[in-house]
Amino acid sequence: MDIAGSDLGALRHLPAVATVLGLADAAPLLEAHGRIATTQAIREALDQARDALRAGTASATDAASVLRTAQRLLETHQPALRPVFNLTGTVLHTNLGRALLAEAAVAAATEAMRHPVALEFDLDDGGRGERDDHLRALLCELTGAEDATVVNNNAAAVLLCLNTFALGRGAIVSRGELIEIGGAFRMPDIMTRAGAHMVEVGTTNRTHAADYQKAIDERTGLILKVHTSNYRIQGFTAEVGARDLATLASAAGIPLLNDLGSGSLVDLSAYGLAREATVREAVTEGAHLVTFSGDKLLGGPQAGFIVGSRELIAAINRNPLKRALRVDKIRLAAIEATLQLYRDPDRLAARLPTLRYLARSRDAIAAQAARLRDDVALRLGDAFRVDTGECASQVGSGALPLDTLPSACLLIRSTGSQRALDDLATAWRALPRPVIGRITEGALQLDLRCLDEADEALFVANLSAHA
């Protein structure tokens, strides 16, 4: 490629890193970002200037403009895990971190980070305590189970149960319940990794008690029942309920493990949602072990709970894998604070964000959409049209997969090309607080269910950061 003589000269006259660092305006950058990051950004800025000169898209570059570029580079380096606005309409969005914690849980986690805590220390006698002691009583109170333990997530809970009771043995499961949760959790794979032999019974749509009965032999480790969280088999179907399975398992002297997935601690129909079996009901039905997630309907941090008979939980606690799957003090503190809220059901919806979002009425959300429409339209200018509309939110994370919640949204359409709308969605993902919506039927849909009213001003101001 031909390089004009003047550009070659300009290349030679690019400032040295030290010159840029020596500018008075470099001092605040050094203070904010440190020497190494600032120097690195100046080098990058110089590389960009060199490329631009070679490509002929720039003529000369002075130290001040290199510093300005470096400053932009430093400031666009935003934390990867920064907060976003979840306007997808999915309340428990796995890719956006599922449940938001209650303020009490945030406070408890913060305290546990700042100070020593009696994690495995008995404050009564000054001796060694047990990590599980903090939650055991609460979990038993809330679920009616004899004993309880907690691990990293529900996948870990299932893995640990299978590994404890079906290592080198059979785990019987219905063909209708071999679920996949996201790409990474597939029941057959988890069973294999747990060292269990999967013994499939029945068919995809129908499984009978006799199918289980026939499969039980001296090598059976446990029977597994899996809540088909994220799909339903409808039509000509039959499954064996947990109550009957528990009877069958007890008669054979093996445990029934019921993996509930979401596992709510309260009856959600009290909040206008579809009914989903509670953990207490699953315990009452007689399952010897019940597993469920911390960050789905329960509304806490990521965790996996195992509740059930004292003897079985004790065996689980003796499994060396338990140590590898245990939960840290920060989450334990947040879990305890979250569970405490369930002792006061009257105020639960006000305090637990997940329940608050799920219980928000369509009318309240529609009023919010009407309030925000003009402000959003103003910030978008003539290139877009903003309307209020109706939509349907989802619970998410596989909970209540077929039930949607009537909701309201802002619908943004391009007055020009569809491309402009895609570009807008991209630009909004790059905002200081990224705005995540959904493109559907030629519009960018912002379901406002999860936009707290207290955050409305922040939401609008944040949009202004978009040039």
Ligand X SMILES: *Cc1c(COP(=O)(O)O)cnc(C)c1O
Nearest to ligand X of 158, 199 (CB atom): 158
Q: Quickly count: other Cβ atoms within 10 Å of residue 429's Cβ.
A: 12
Give the span between the Cα atoms of 310 and 289, in whole angstroms. 10
> Does 271 help bind ligand X (rule: CB under 6 A)?
no
Kindly give, in sequence order, each residue whose CB lies less than 8 Å from that of residue 188, ignoring residues fewer than 6 positions away.
Answer: 178, 198
Q: Quickly count: other Cβ atoms within 10 Å of residue 315's Cβ.
A: 14
**How far is residue 436 from each of residues 138, 171, 370, 425, measured CA to CA in Å?**
36, 41, 19, 8
DSSP state string for 278-299 = BHHHHHHTT-SEEEEESSSTT-
Comparing every residue's Cβ against ligand X, the nearest one is 261
> Does 338 help bind ligand X (rule: CB under 6 A)?
no
Q: Among 89, 299, 353, 398, indicate the residue that binds ligand X (CB under 6 A).
A: 398
Q: Quickly count: other Cβ atoms within 10 Å of residue 66's Cβ.
A: 25
> Does 293 help bind ligand X (rule: CB under 6 A)?
yes
Of residues 183 through 242, those in contact with ligand X by CB under 6 A are: 185, 226-227, 229
Encoded amino acid at 211, one letter: D
| Among the residue ranges 123-131, 195-203, 256-264, 325-333, the one whose residues contact ligand X (CB under 6 A) | 256-264
> Does 151 help bind ligand X (rule: CB under 6 A)?
no
Q: Among 69, 71, 90, 153, indicate the residue that binds ligand X (CB under 6 A).
A: 153
CB of 246 to ligand X, least distance (A): 18
Helix (H), strand (E) at residue 403? strand 399-414
Q: Which residue has the tokens 């991209």?
A: 426
> Does 394 help bind ligand X (rule: CB under 6 A)?
no
> Does 351 help bind ligand X (rule: CB under 6 A)?
no
Q: How many residues bind ligand X (CB under 6 A)?
A: 16
Of residues 14 through 73, those in contact with ligand X by CB under 6 A are: none
Nearest to ligand X of 15, 261 (CB atom): 261
Nearest to ligand X of 289, 448 (CB atom): 289
CB of 270 to ligand X, least distance (A): 22
| Among the residue ranges 100-108, 239-247, 248-256, 259-267, the one whose residues contact ligand X (CB under 6 A) | 259-267
Nearest to ligand X of 155, 216 (CB atom): 155
Structural contact between residues 283 and 307, judged by C-beta atoms closer than 8 angstroms: yes
Nearest to ligand X of 87, 155 (CB atom): 155
For the four alpha carbons of 341, 332, 136 and 151, in that order, the dihedral sign comes to: positive
- Report angle CA 385, 389, 392 to the nearest 5 degrees: 135
> Does 301 help bind ligand X (rule: CB under 6 A)?
no
Nearest to ligand X of 158, 333 (CB atom): 158
Kindly give, in sequence order, each residue whose CB lies less than 8 Å from that of residue 256, ignoring residues fewer than 6 positions away.
Answer: 222, 223, 224, 225, 242, 245, 246, 248, 249, 250, 286, 287, 288, 289
> Does 259 help bind ligand X (rule: CB under 6 A)?
yes
Q: Which of 99, 125, 229, 243 is nearest to 177 (CA)?
A: 229
> Does 261 help bind ligand X (rule: CB under 6 A)?
yes
> Does 353 help bind ligand X (rule: CB under 6 A)?
no
Encoded amino acid at 303, one letter: A
CB of 275 to ligand X, least distance (A): 17
| Among the residue ranges 143-151, 234-242, 257-265, 308-316, the one whose residues contact ligand X (CB under 6 A) | 257-265
- Positions touching ligand X (CB under 6 A) are 153-155, 158, 179, 181, 185, 226-227, 229, 259, 261-262, 293, 304, 398
